[in-house]
Chain A
Amino acid sequence: MTRLSDTFDPLRAIFRKQVRHLIRYPGEMVFLFIIPYFLTGLLVAMGVSVGGQDAFGNFAVQTGSSLNPVVFLMIGSGVWMISWIVLEGIGTSLRDEQMKGTLEQNFLAPINRFLLLVGQALSQIVITSLLFGGVIVASVLLLEPRGALGLILAFGILMIGLIPLFGLGFVFAALVIRFKEPYAFTQAANVLFAVLTGTFYNVTLLPYWAQYVSTAIPQTIVIQNMRLAVESVQGLIGAYGTIFILLAMALIYPFLGYSMFKQFERRAKVTGDLSKF
């Protein structure tokens, strides 16, 4: 048996198992299908109700972006939802397994914990990314056809951005193992991220200190650069420094997150917390 199949066979099995669960609990799938449309509709309606007839014009002045506001918001909310799923997906899947009684069965298997953590969230991430990706593509092609080429770059940035997000996901998984409350931490963090990462506006609208904090969050760079890529490829080239920061995050965050998870897992083995719920 090759080392490659040692990695990919279990990963494929975990992925397939999670997809089967998603299909057999159809409510979650329905939720994933409808949420992008509801979220965007809600934000556009709010914007129009506040900004009145000149809402779109005001939006351009305030954000400094020439993008259609719907596309601007679609990119922000799309990345936000994907990051939500990554952050929450790993931790909640573990918690779900713990409640079902199957977590220990997975921990008994001779596979890397890293695979287990990534595999648990992968199905949700793939499905959510496809859904939101589809929504972003459709909105760009309909409302900003000039950005069609930039879309390819935008999704490249998103793919890089998913790597440090997994790192943050490991941190939340560690907290789930320790405190067994998957939603308390991730929901608070996701709301905070929505505020700090410029999900629905430009980060330049934030106070200086908040902008400084936001640079440490990968979603900020992903959202900004995806918008730039769709708006103008030239603009993205000018921001190449931020891509390097994102790449650095992709190297450091998973390592830090996974180290934290392993530490909390070791503690759970000492306290016997793995089988407590």
Chain B
Amino acid sequence: MDPVEVRSLSKTFTTKEGPLFRKTQKSVTALDDVNFSVKKGEIFGLLGPNGAGKTTTIKAICTLIHPTSGEVYVNGHNVVKDAQRARQDLGVMLTGDRTLYWKLSGRENLEYFAALYHMGGATAKQRIEQLLKLVGLDERQNTLVENYSTGMRIRLSFAKAILHEAPVILLDEPTMSLDPQSARLVREIIRDLRKEGCSILLTTHYMEEADQLSDRVAIIDHGKIIAMAPPRELKETVLKSEIIEIEAQNINPQVVEKLRGIPTITEVVSTIDDAAAQKGVIKVHASGGKQVIPEMLGVLVKGDVEISNVKVATPTLEDVFISLTGRALRD
């Protein structure tokens, strides 16, 4: 059995909506028949847009929510029936910086969680020293967390997740809100953990991160896994298309629709970065090669789109997502 096994996992939440005394029940399927496993010494990336089911998957694995159906095993322990043992084998980092005690110092936070994970005094002390150095907080270890920057809090939260040297580590968006230098540090530590034999489940909506770190990636959308393979294999599935990126201003929906009308274009996705200027990127997947570019540019110019750059791009995991769903990850 692999360190993490997720079998036919489904989760439906029931919410009540409407005014008092006239509330109606509404069911939302967060996860629908999710299956995957994480092997020993593997980094497994779970990639998907916000609300796709990444965090729900993590919470089901780490025993915080009960599945509606299906089973999850951590190191052979069923997370519902044998939750305590599963928890002992799990190191978890949940999203955000509010997972720590702000009125305790960085060191006090780690000491507290070390005790909850049954780490003996001397072992805990040594490990805490090591981790504070590793995440670059040794000089601020006695400062209250409320006086830390967001990046420092996230690094401490990451240190907390790997504190008791669990064989399985779940990281929910571990580099979100981190500056590039800190993000790089966290990625390096994650790679080191893999070398030490840890099984790591990583959720992220940063394509490059999933691409660089993961041995395998599962793409999740609307609670379903729609693709699962090593990043290189996933990208090969879109190699038969040419990917053209157009940076432009005054991008409008009518033009995007017209582009979709060109027969050799299979997907068009526009991402707006500056709403006032309608400035952003149009990504086009074309089956007929680069020959489509003149026709495409003609449509854009006629539609008053101001083009600043056109390039033929190499496929990324985002392109895989686009080809599978017809949407960008940020949509």
Please give the residue numbers on chain A whose beta carbons come within 8 Å of chain B beta carbons, in ascending order.
1, 5-6, 9-10, 12-14, 16-17, 20-21, 24-25, 100-102, 104-112, 266, 269-272, 274-275
Chain B 59-107 interface residues, beta-carbon cutoff 8 Å to A: 59, 62-66, 68, 84-85, 87-88, 90, 92, 94, 96, 98-104
Q: Which residues of A contact B64 (CB under 8 A)?
A: 104, 107-108, 269, 274-275
Q: Which residues of B contact A105 (CB under 8 A)?
A: 94, 99-100, 113, 160
Do A110 and B112 touch (CB < 8 A)? no
Do B66 and A110 touch (CB < 8 A)? no
Q: Which residues of A contact B65 (CB under 8 A)?
A: 269-270, 272, 274
Nearest neighbor of A12 in chain B, beta-carbon distance: B115
Do B98 and A111 touch (CB < 8 A)? no
Return 5 A-B CB contacts under 8 Å, by A number. A10-B115, A21-B103, A100-B102, A105-B94, A270-B65
Q: Is B20 an interface residue when CB atoms closer than 8 A count as contact?
A: no
Q: Is B108 an interface residue when CB atoms closer than 8 A count as contact?
A: yes
Given contacts A17-B101, A269-B64, contact A106 B116 (CB under 8 A): yes
Do A102 and B99 touch (CB < 8 A)? yes
Q: Which residues of B contact A24 (CB under 8 A)?
A: 103, 144
Given contacts A110-B87, A271-B14, contact A20 B115 (CB under 8 A): no
Given A9-B115, A25-B103, 12 additional A-B pairs, CB 8 A: A5-B120, A12-B115, A13-B115, A17-B101, A102-B99, A105-B160, A108-B63, A109-B117, A110-B87, A270-B66, A271-B13, A272-B59
Nearest neighbor of B62 in chain A, beta-carbon distance: A108
Given contacts A13-B112, A108-B90, A275-B64, contact A20 B117 (CB under 8 A): no
Do A110 and B84 touch (CB < 8 A)? yes
A15 vs chain B, min Cβ distance (A) = 10
Name the contact of B118 in the complex, choosing from A12, A102, A110 (C-beta under 8 A). Answer: A110
Q: Which residues of A contact B115 (CB under 8 A)?
A: 9-10, 12-13
Complexed CA–CA distance, A101 and B85 (Å): 23
A262 vs chain B, min Cβ distance (A) = 12
Do A100 and B118 touch (CB < 8 A)? no
B231 vs chain A, min Cβ distance (A) = 29
Q: Is B138 an interface residue when CB atoms closer than 8 A count as contact?
A: no
Do A102 and B101 touch (CB < 8 A)? yes
Q: Which residues of B contact A101 (CB under 8 A)?
A: 96, 98-99
Given contacts A25-B103, A104-B99, A108-B62, contact A6 B118 (CB under 8 A): yes
B53 vs chain A, min Cβ distance (A) = 12
* Most chain A beta-carbon neighbours within 10 Å: one of B56, B113, B116, B117: B116
Q: Is B111 an interface residue when CB atoms closer than 8 A count as contact?
A: yes
A22 vs chain B, min Cβ distance (A) = 10
- The interface bits of chain B over 138-159 (1 if a CB of A lies within 8 angstroms of the residue's CB, else 0) are 0000001000000000000000
Q: Which residues of B contact A10 (CB under 8 A)?
A: 115-116, 118
A265 vs chain B, min Cβ distance (A) = 10
Nearest neighbor of A101 in chain B, beta-carbon distance: B98
Complexed CA–CA distance, A275 and B99 (Å): 11
B17 vs chain A, min Cβ distance (A) = 14
B162 vs chain A, min Cβ distance (A) = 13
Top 8 nearest A-B pairs (CB, nearest first) are A13-B115, A101-B98, A109-B116, A110-B87, A110-B88, A269-B66, A24-B103, A110-B84
B169 vs chain A, min Cβ distance (A) = 12
* Most chain B beta-carbon neighbours within 10 Å: one of A100, A101, A271: A101
Chain B 270-317 interface residues, beta-carbon cutoff 8 Å to A: none
B156 vs chain A, min Cβ distance (A) = 12
Given contacts A13-B115, A110-B84, A269-B64, contact A1 B120 (CB under 8 A): yes
Do A20 and B103 touch (CB < 8 A)? yes
Complexed CA–CA distance, A195 and B106 (Å): 46
A180 vs chain B, min Cβ distance (A) = 14
Complexed CA–CA distance, A272 and B63 (Å): 11
Q: Which residues of B contact A5 (CB under 8 A)?
A: 118, 120
Name the contact of A17 in the complex, choosing from B14, B90, B98, B112 (C-beta under 8 A). Answer: B112
Q: Which residues of B contact A108 (CB under 8 A)?
A: 62-64, 87, 90, 92
Nearest neighbor of A109 in chain B, beta-carbon distance: B116
Complexed CA–CA distance, A49 and B231 (Å): 82
Name the contact of A110 in the complex, choosing from B85, B104, B108 (C-beta under 8 A). Answer: B85
Q: Which residues of B contact A102 (CB under 8 A)?
A: 98-101
A229 vs chain B, min Cβ distance (A) = 38
Q: Which residues of A contact B117 (CB under 8 A)?
A: 109-110
- The interface bits of chain B over 261-273 (1 if a CB of A lies within 8 angstroms of the residue's CB, else 0) are 0000000000000
Nearest neighbor of B100 in chain A, beta-carbon distance: A102
Q: Which residues of A contact B120 (CB under 8 A)?
A: 1, 5
Q: Which residues of B contact A21 (CB under 8 A)?
A: 101, 103-104
Complexed CA–CA distance, A109 and B117 (Å): 6
A213 vs chain B, min Cβ distance (A) = 32
Complexed CA–CA distance, A163 and B85 (Å): 29
Nearest neighbor of B101 in chain A, beta-carbon distance: A102
